[in-house]
């Protein structure tokens, strides 16, 4: 009995020790999120999920590897709030070499508890027009001034909260200034420069950061393991289709599929594909700063293409549709060059639509020029096979049907071929086929 108790006690000690070792291992982990691309709602969800997972797993810190040309103002503010309210230190690391933190990325970088950059990287150019607010070229001066002032105040507040250069931050918004990693370090825009992730983790060791509640955390990163939190399959898909060019392609495929189904009812496949692409396109458009006038022009264009197939305009509807499609495509998105559809893509889609429309118009013209093929007129000029001798009346076979026929050129024997010259009720008037 005593021996059994000792064994059980030993097992409890071993299990407890193993649990402590695993816990210690978990507590020495650093989670890494890779934010590469335009700042949009899909990236917001991914970063938020990554930070929450790092907090739940008691990670030492969470590193956001950032490489972005900018993005949407609302999405940027959501990410800043996630960073500021995080329960663990958040490190924003502009990397790899050649990366940039532009526009909305400047706000995110400066909101981090620790801001770092890799070699040969850049930060800056945070003017609101390129962030993707309500900005368009037609923005009034008064509205632009309000947007710029709001962004300047916001970035000054972020910089001040972390003891960073507020004057430079404001210039990044008002004057679109930029800086290299060494210039940013000298100007107190960032906290450190690290050539790679291992070097960054080494420099973080022993650094103190102040959290939102005023508590101070000393980072113990030496010997910690790195855990990458990647986008899941659905996030990858949604992030891919939130690109303006992909959204435009999906919208075009949706309309082409629906047009094909309308022109050829019962094909099913084009309609199904068009419907799926349409749903994905609507989601994608919801992630982007859409110009509704552009959407209406694109819809009008495809409406004109469909009308061409049912109306004998001989190209007028198609010409109007092409013009509407090109203009609508060019103004489909707002928010600066970051959200513009490639002119080459617009050209390719326009050419494809033109070729399809030309084929449809050609078919319509050929149909109008074709001999009438309905009623009695269809029989004139056609040939029939004599079944019962024409003396001059007899029976002929035409398209599997037996007709009463009268020969206009004397008797005709069975098996000979005759030409239909006239139709009178249910009687055909025929003549011998010239050989």
Encode pLDDT of 33-84 as tens digits.
Answer: 999 999 999 999 999 999 999 999 999 999 999 999 998 899 999 999 999 9
- Identical topology for domains 27-232 and 375-432: no
337: tokens are 């060059």
Of 70, 147, 43, 46, give the one whose Cα is nearest residue 339: 70
- The rounded distance, in Å, linking the Cα atoms of 217 and 115 is 16
Domain definitions of the chain by residue range:
27-232, 243-369, 375-432
Rg from Cα positions in the chain:
37
* pLDDT score, position 335: 67
Return the structure tokens found at 52.
């929450």
Query: Which whole-number Å values give the CA distances from 398 to 148, 384, 405, in the listed order?
Result: 83, 5, 11
Q: Which fold has domain 27-232?
A: 2-enoyl-CoA Hydratase; Chain A, domain 1 (3.90.226)
Rounded distance, CA 323 to CA 301, Å? 8
DSSP assignment of 317-333: HHHHHHHHHHHHHHTSB
Closest CA to 188 of 177, 179, 200, 196: 179
Contact 248, 285 (CB under 8 A): no
Q: Which of 18, 85, 97, 146 is catalytic?
A: 146
Q: Which of 75, 95, 101, 103 is catalytic?
A: 103
Q: Judge if pTM exceeds 0.85.
A: no
Q: Is 376 a catalytic residue?
A: no
State yes or no: is 146 an active-site residue. yes
CB contact at 8 A, 411 and 392: yes
Domain 375-432, CATH: 2.40.50.140
Provide block-wise average pLDDT over 10 residues at a time, the chain (435 residues).
52 49 57 94 95 93 95 93 94 94 94 95 82 47 83 93 93 93 95 94 92 89 92 91 90 84 75 88 85 87 79 74 89 78 89 77 60 61 86 85 85 86 84 75
Beta-ladder partners of 254: none
Residue 278: half-sphere exposure toward Cβ, Cα within 13 Å? 13
Give dist(CA 246, CA 252) in Å, integer: 10
At 198-216, the pLDDT tens digits run 999 999 999 999 898 888 9
Whose tokens are 């532009």? That residue is 102
Question: Nearest Cα to 369, choosing from 317, 316, 319, 314?
Answer: 314
CA distances from residue 85 to 74, 88, 109, 163, 226 in whole angstroms, order as listed = 17, 9, 15, 17, 23
């Amino acid at each position: 009995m005593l021996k059994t108790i000792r064994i059980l006690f030993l097992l409890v000690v071993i299990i407890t020790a193993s649990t402590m070792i695993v816990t210690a291992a978990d507590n020495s982990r650093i989670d890494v999120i890779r934010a590469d691309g335009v700042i949009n709602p899909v990236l917001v969800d991914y970063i938020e999920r990554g930070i929450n997972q790092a907090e739940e797993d008691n990670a030492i810190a969470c590193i956001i590897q950032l490489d972005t040309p900018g993005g949407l103002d609302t999405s940027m503010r959501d990410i800043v709030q996630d960073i500021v309210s995080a329960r663990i230190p958040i490190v924003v690391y502009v990397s790899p070499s050649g990366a940039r933190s532009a526009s909305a990325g400047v706000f995110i970088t400066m909101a981090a508890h620790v801001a770092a950059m890799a070699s040969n990287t850049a930060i800056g150019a945070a003017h609101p027009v390129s962030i993707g607010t309500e900005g368009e070229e037609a923005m009034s001066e008064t509205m632009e001034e309000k947007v710029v002032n709001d962004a300047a105040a916001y970035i000054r507040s972020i910089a001040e909260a972390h003891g960073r250069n507020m004057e430079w931050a404001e210039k990044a918004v008002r004057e679109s200034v930029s800086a290299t990693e060494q210039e940013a370090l000298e100007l107190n825009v960032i906290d450190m420069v690290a050539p790679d992730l291992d070097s960054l983790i080494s420099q973080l060791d022993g650094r103190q950061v102040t959290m939102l509640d005023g508590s101070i955390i000393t980072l113990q990163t030496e010997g910690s393991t790195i855990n990458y939190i990647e986008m899941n399959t659905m996030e990858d898909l949604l992030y891919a289709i939130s690109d303006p060019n992909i959204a435009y392609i999906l919208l075009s495929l949706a309309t082409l599929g629906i047009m094909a189904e309308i022109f050829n009812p019962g094909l099913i496949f084009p309609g199904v594909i068009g419907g799926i692409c349409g749903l994905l396109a609507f989601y994608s458009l919801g992630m982007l700063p859409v110009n509704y006038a552009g959407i209406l022009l694109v819809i009008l264009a495809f409406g004109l293409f469909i009308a061409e197939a049912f109306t004998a305009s001989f190209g007028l509807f198609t010409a109007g549709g092409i013009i509407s499609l090109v203009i609508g495509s060019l103004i489909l998105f707002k928010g600066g060059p970051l959200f513009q559809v490639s002119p080459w893509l617009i050209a390719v889609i326009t050419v494809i639509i033109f070729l399809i429309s030309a084929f449809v118009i050609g078919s319509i013209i050929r149909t109008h020029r074709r001999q009438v093929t309905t009623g009695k007129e269809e029989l004139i000029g056609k040939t029939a096979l004599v079944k019962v001798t024409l003396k001059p009346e007899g029976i002929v076979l035409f398209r599997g049907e037996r007709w009463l026929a009268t020969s206009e050129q004397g008797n005709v024997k069975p098996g000979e071929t005759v030409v239909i010259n006239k139709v009178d009720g249910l009687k055909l008037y025929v003549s011998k086929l010239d050989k």
